[in-house]
Amino acid sequence: MTTTTVAAATEYVVQLRRISKRFGGVHALREVDLELRRGEIMGIVGDNGAGKSTLMKILSGAYVADEGEIWVNGRKVRIRNPQDSARLGIAMIYQDLALFNNFDVTKNIFIGRELTRGPMGLVLDKKRMYRETQELIRELKVDIKSPRQNVASMSGGQRQMVACARAIAFKSTILIMDEPTAALGVTEANKLLGLIRNLADKGISILLITQRIPDVLAIADRVFVLKGGERQGVLDVGKVTLDDVVTLIVRGKDRAGEAPGDVMYKSFG
Ligand SMILES: Nc1ncnc2c1ncn2[C@@H]1O[C@H](COP(=O)(O)OP(=O)(O)O)[C@@H](O)[C@H]1O
Ligand SMILES: [Mg+2]
């Protein structure tokens, strides 16, 4: 490998190459390429059934692609299950979050990998876990009052924030979020979007599936458009309008340049 190709390969934290996936007769994804940079927020958009969740589930190890390659930090990797993905620093945050309702924030963040102390490491180091959670809350500017707050009493947005904090505590550097703001009110959604932007500014790379295009335009760096399981294009948020994005979602790359009205005419013609 020449120096040039190494540099080119490591410019991206994630590269999906020619990813295809079928479910029976349904071609959910067709030779999809995606490149994600460090510290970037990439919006993943497209109509229902476009393949957004399937593509992200392949990266998170929930599904295995039929064809294609996954590269993480310039290396070709195999992701056969969620554990493989987690080991590579990838975390997927689902809308129906798996938090433990009877536990506080700290327990939810450290569950499964509790900090211990003592010569044999047999004593739970609760003090340190609460302190680290407090630091995480402050550092991420998470809208949660105390590391001792029970998650059962939290709003949907706060719960998403706990899930993000947990991922960061686990040293995840690539976060995937599937419709995180779908069930949230405007204020809550904006707070969560603010946290996502903070994370990106700290160097975390984020793949954000959403139907809310204005959300993407507010915080993302680029928008990846899928339609019918195919990549339609990747748009720089600073260079496009809401209309441009919607046009690409609805018409696809081959018809996006046509004059308004043509689509209706042609689809009935
Ligand atoms: N587990 C599955 N079994 C069968 N078909 C599926 C499954 N998951 C997704 N699909 C199909 O694959 C296509 C893409 O779905 P999906 O990735 O969920 O789209 P999106 O998230 O963009 O709405 C759809 O036609 C959907 O019905
Ligand atoms: Mg989906």
Indicate which residue's Cα is closest to atom 9 of ligand 1: 54
- Ligand 1 pocket residue status of 194, Cβ below 6 Å: no
Does 49 sit in the ligand 1 pocket, CB within 6 Å? yes
Q: Does position 187 have pLDDT exceeding 70, yes or no?
A: yes
Q: What average pLDDT is seen over the chain?
A: 89
For the Cβ of 50 lying below 6 angstroms from any atom of ligand 1, the answer is yes
- Give residue 255 CA to ligand 1 midpoint distance, Å: 24
Ligand 1 centroid from CA 59, angstroms: 15
The model's confidence at residue 265, banded by pLDDT at 50, 70 and 90, is very low
Label residue 155 by pLDDT band (50, 70, 90).
confident
Mean pLDDT of 16-22: 98
Q: Closest residue (by CA) to atom 11 of ligand 1? A: 28
Q: What are the backbone angles phi and psi of residue 253, rounded to the nearest 5°?
A: -65, -30
Token pair for 133: 């959670």
What's the first-to-final CA gap in the chain, in angstroms?
Answer: 52
Query: Ligand 1 centroid to 163 CA: how many Å?
Result: 24
Q: Which ligand is nearest to the CA of 55?
A: 1
Task: Find the mean pLDDT for residues 6-18.
Answer: 79
Would you place residue 113 in the very low, low, confident or very high pLDDT band (cuts 50, 70, 90)? Answer: confident
Ligand 2 centre and the CA of 6: distance in Å? 34
Q: Please report the domains of the chain, with CATH numbers, ordered by start residue.
A: 39-61+84-268 (3.40.50.300)
| Predicted local distance difference test score (pLDDT) of residue 10 | 66
Distance 100 CA to ligand 2 centre (A): 24
Mean pLDDT calculated for residue range 60-82: 97
Residue-level pLDDT at 268: 37
pLDDT at residue number 263: 46
**What pLDDT is attached to residue 96?**
62
Q: Tell me what pLDDT residue 53 has.
A: 96
- The more confident residue out of 214 and 141 is 214
Cα(219) to ligand 2 centroid in Å equals 20
| pLDDT of 106 over the 90 cut | yes
Where does the pLDDT of residue 79 fall: very low under 50, low under 70, confident under 90, or very high at 90 and above?
very high
Taking the model in full, what pTM does it have? 0.89
Which atom in ligand 1 lies closest to the alpha carbon of residue 54?
17
**Confidence class of residue 118 from pLDDT cuts 50, 70 and 90?**
confident
The percentage of residues in the chain with a pLDDT greater than 70, rounded to a whole number, is 91
Tell me what the mean pLDDT of segment 142-160 comes to. 89
Q: Is the CB of 233 under 6 A from ligand 1?
A: no
